[in-house]
Structure 1
Amino acid sequence: MHLDHTTARGGAELALVRLLRAGGDWLPAVLVPAVDEADAFAALPPTVLRRTAGVAQGPGGSAGSPLRLAVLAARLVVQAVATRLNPLVRTCDVVAANSTRAAAYAAVALLGSRTPLVVHLRDMVDEESLGGFGHRVMTRLVLPRADGVIANSHTTLSTARPFLRDDAITAVIPSAAGLTRAAARPPRTGPLRIGMLARIDPWKGQAELLEAFAVACRHGDAELEFAGGAPFEHEDFAARLAARAAELGIADRVRLLGHVDDVPEALARWDVGVQYSTRAEPLGQNVLQYLAAGLVTVVADEGGPREWVTDGENGRRVAPRDPRALAEVLRELVEDAAARERLASAAPGTPGLLDDAAVARAHAEIYREIATRRRMPVKA
């Protein structure tokens, strides 16, 4: 049983869809409090996606006024009760929480139960990522209850280890990101194109990339594209990006594409892919997608992306939160076609890049090990 608190098109939700469509060696069901208008799980069979009673969990982090936190806590408790009463949860071999908020109500729901809980860690276990309330729930309730943790990077797992039981099973498995290793990319014609694949969100670094592009590519015909929707009430930020591009005099070379369903097609349009989040990314699925697609991959030099990009070998690392440093690297890449070709050629050979089927097999091994460890016979 996979639990998620939302069906909005976030990274965790899209990763779960890819994982289940890859056909893992288990019988899946996905339980959500409510189905949103933009349903990331629409591609799953209706027999897989189920809606439980309870309350919609809504977007946003665990920060704000005491009243807001009280409401959030109440919603989690109500959802925990509804989850505990669901017959599918009571009869499954393993409950896998796909998001941080789902992990919170799953831990409450399974108190006193022998059903194993697997927590998918897609965020750093720190207050900056989770908020104060979320961090307390994760470190005092969720991780001590978890029978297993699947982290998307070694960096992510290291932030959780101090709060896990000694017998908790842990694994580092990259999120399913729809990877297909590129063959030799045919030469692109037209202007150099730089892109960022990420939801439109202030902390994902679109504003910083826009400023760096304006400096590095003020002259010439290079283009910048942002591919990603604006969930979680960030439509105003998308509008500000467009307005800022106009102020900088580059609006004719900057495009906001919105959510893209065909990621490989979008990446095939680009020469350079950038990840430049303003706080350390636990993984950065876009980094894996850039590398597998054979793009010149530029990442902030911190967090999970450091585990994938070696500066000057299969991509470039840039000092985080420093648009001037990013601009300098972009300028170097714009001016050095030979360096671009060398880095792009090396990217698909990055060790550890897994297609979705391999990710699913790795998950199946962990689910079975955890179910067995809890001495619960796996149901046929």
Structure 2
Amino acid sequence: MPQPPAILQVLPALVAGGVERGTVEIAEAIAAAGWRALVASAGGALAVEVERVGGVHVTLPLATKSPLGILRNAGALAALVRQEEVAILHARSRAPAWSALLASRRTGAHLVTTYHGAYNEGLPGKRLYNSVMARGERVIAISHFIADLVRARHGTGPGRLRVIPRGVDPRRFDPAAVPPPQVAALRESWGAALGQPVILLPGRMTRWKGQAVLLEAVARLPGQPIAVLAGGGNEEFARELRGRAQALGLGDRLRLAGHVEAMAPALLAADVVVHASTDPEAFGRTVIEAQAMARPVIASDLGGPRETVEEGVTGWRVPPGDPAALAAALARVLALPEAERAAVGARARAAVLRDYTTTAMQAATIGVYRELLG
């Protein structure tokens, strides 16, 4: 009897992040479809998750960007494709995608790419380097914003381009599933007094995520709100933020929570969740996670959040990099009656359950694979 089809996803590593989490979720869907789910990467904390959902992880040094390393990885992927009779290679990042492209040409395996970012083109040769993400037989764009960008930059036509938004698992992000004492304990750990507003910004510690913009905005607000920054990353930038908070008089109201594994309780513990990115997000998964938890969300008016945040209906949008506009929006939202904020949160959760679930993302991706497998 022939083996079930094998799908091999490739990415640099399996550390925490949206691309990595999505890889695990698609591996789960592949296994559930009765196919063989393979993932190749340099490894990381989520490698065990691949195995848990029924996939197999293969360790390869796919994080390298050196031309020689990319060529070597192409050979290793081609050998793996032949050994495991892989039908489809699915590339999720640029350097591994070059290796996957070469491997697919050598073996005849189909190639799918997911265009996960806006990908800066500031340096010479960058458009060529980025173009590999538009060379799949099917190119998955994670938002309409990204689809427009792929069409404009690379001329990718509708026959190959598919829009599949990111999704959240409504079982993991469910307000009813978080015990109120857990939320109260988290607010207490942040030093929030009864009735003191908590403003949460989830995102990596990197300048373009807008943490500094939030601090400038919070400094303009009355009522002594607490600003919680949830995300790991650049420690030097974190020190810079602490210094800026001191200068703004926010030193005792800034909380650097670091990487938060259990985001659902943290989101529920916030009065408002802020997305303050100054560069366009390809999608903005933290936004729909907050909406799934029925939280009021204020997002930068650019990139993916333009599609997931309907102004005044499921949240609010503000000009990016504008502390005064963000402060004004925060003041308006915090001044709303609790019932009105709850109504916005309820509409936001309903929109996520309708349009942005993990199940929908998995089904659409499996549909792309079926197109190629015939």
Alignment of 1:93-132 (within 5 A): 93-124=87-118, 127=121, 132=124
Residue of structure 2 in register with 1:227 after alignment: 230
Deviation at 1:137, TM superposition (A): 2.0
Residue of structure 2 in register with 1:137 after alignment: 129
- How many Å separate the matches in 1 of 2:355 and 2:212? 29
Alignment of 1:84-233 (within 5 A): 84-87=78-81, 91-124=85-118, 127=121, 132-139=124-131, 141-143=132-134, 145-162=135-152, 163=154, 166=157, 168-180=159-171, 182=174, 190-216=195-221, 219-230=222-233
- How many Å separate the matches in 1 of 2:136 and 2:246? 49
Question: What amino acid is the match of 1:30?
Answer: V
TM-score w.r.t. the length of structure 2 is 0.83
Residue of structure 1 in register with 2:335 after alignment: 335
The 1:268–1:29 alpha-carbon spacing in structure 2 relative to 1, beyond 3 Å, is same
Deviation at 1:108, TM superposition (A): 2.8
CA deviations 1:147-201 (Å, max 9, x no partner) are 0011110110111125255574332222243344646798986422111121221
Deviation at 1:112, TM superposition (A): 4.5
Contact 1:227/1:259 (8 A) holds in 2? yes
- How many Å separate the matches in 2 of 1:12 and 1:175? 9
- How many Å separate the matches in 2 of 1:367 and 1:349? 29
- How many Å separate the matches in 1 of 2:237 and 2:26? 30
TM-score w.r.t. the length of structure 1 is 0.82
Count, aligned residues: 346
Residue of structure 2 in register with 1:321 after alignment: 321
Question: What amino acid is the match of 1:197?
Answer: P
State the SS of the aligned residue for 1:150: strand
Percentage of pairs with the same residue: 29
Contact 1:10/1:199 (8 A) holds in 2? no
Contact 2:165/2:361 (8 A) holds in 1? yes
Residue of structure 2 in register with 1:267 after alignment: 267
Which stretch of the first structure deviates more once superposed, 347-356 or 292-301? 347-356
State the SS of the aligned residue for 1:283: coil
Contact 1:18/1:177 (8 A) holds in 2? no
Which stretch of the first structure deviates more once superposed, 96-105 or 319-328? 96-105
The 1:363–1:316 alpha-carbon spacing in structure 2 relative to 1, beyond 3 Å, is same
Alignment of 1:266-285 (within 5 A): 266-285=266-285
Contact 2:296/2:345 (8 A) holds in 1? yes
Which protein, 1 or 2, shows the higher relative CO under an 8 Å CA cutoff with sep ≥ 6?
1
1:345 aligns with 2:320: no
Residue of structure 2 in register with 1:3 after alignment: 10
Residue of structure 2 in register with 1:30 after alignment: 39
* Unaligned residue ranges in structure 2 (runs of 5+): 1-7, 185-193
- How many Å separate the matches in 2 of 1:214 and 1:284? 25
Deviation at 1:358, TM superposition (A): 2.8
Residue of structure 2 in register with 1:57 after alignment: 63
- How many Å separate the matches in 2 of 1:244 and 1:135? 36
Question: What amino acid is the match of 2:356?
Answer: L
The 1:329–1:167 alpha-carbon spacing in structure 2 relative to 1, beyond 3 Å, is closer
Contact 2:81/2:107 (8 A) holds in 1? no
Which stretch of the first structure deviates more once superposed, 327-336 or 105-114? 105-114
- How many Å separate the matches in 1 of 2:209 and 2:32? 31
1:44 aligns with 2:36: no
The 1:125–1:245 alpha-carbon spacing in structure 2 relative to 1, beyond 3 Å, is closer
- How many Å separate the matches in 2 of 1:240 and 1:89? 50
Contact 1:146/1:168 (8 A) holds in 2? no
- How many Å separate the matches in 2 of 1:167 and 1:94? 20
- How many Å separate the matches in 2 of 1:193 and 1:256? 13
The 1:154–1:40 alpha-carbon spacing in structure 2 relative to 1, beyond 3 Å, is same
The 1:304–1:114 alpha-carbon spacing in structure 2 relative to 1, beyond 3 Å, is same
The 1:333–1:88 alpha-carbon spacing in structure 2 relative to 1, beyond 3 Å, is farther
The 1:254–1:203 alpha-carbon spacing in structure 2 relative to 1, beyond 3 Å, is same
Alignment of 1:281-300 (within 5 A): 281-300=281-300
Which stretch of the first structure deviates more once superposed, 274-283 or 179-188? 179-188
Question: What amino acid is the match of 1:146?
Answer: G
State the SS of the aligned residue for 1:207: helix
The 1:208–1:326 alpha-carbon spacing in structure 2 relative to 1, beyond 3 Å, is same
Aligned-CA RMSD value: 2.7
Deviation at 1:285, TM superposition (A): 0.3
State the SS of the aligned residue for 2:313: coil
- How many Å separate the matches in 1 of 2:257 and 2:327? 22
The 1:89–1:291 alpha-carbon spacing in structure 2 relative to 1, beyond 3 Å, is farther
State the SS of the aligned residue for 2:255: strand
CA deviations 1:216-248 (Å, max 9, x no partner) are 2xx423211111221xxx221122222322332
The 1:101–1:342 alpha-carbon spacing in structure 2 relative to 1, beyond 3 Å, is same
Which stretch of the first structure deviates more once superposed, 344-353 or 288-297? 344-353
The 1:340–1:161 alpha-carbon spacing in structure 2 relative to 1, beyond 3 Å, is same
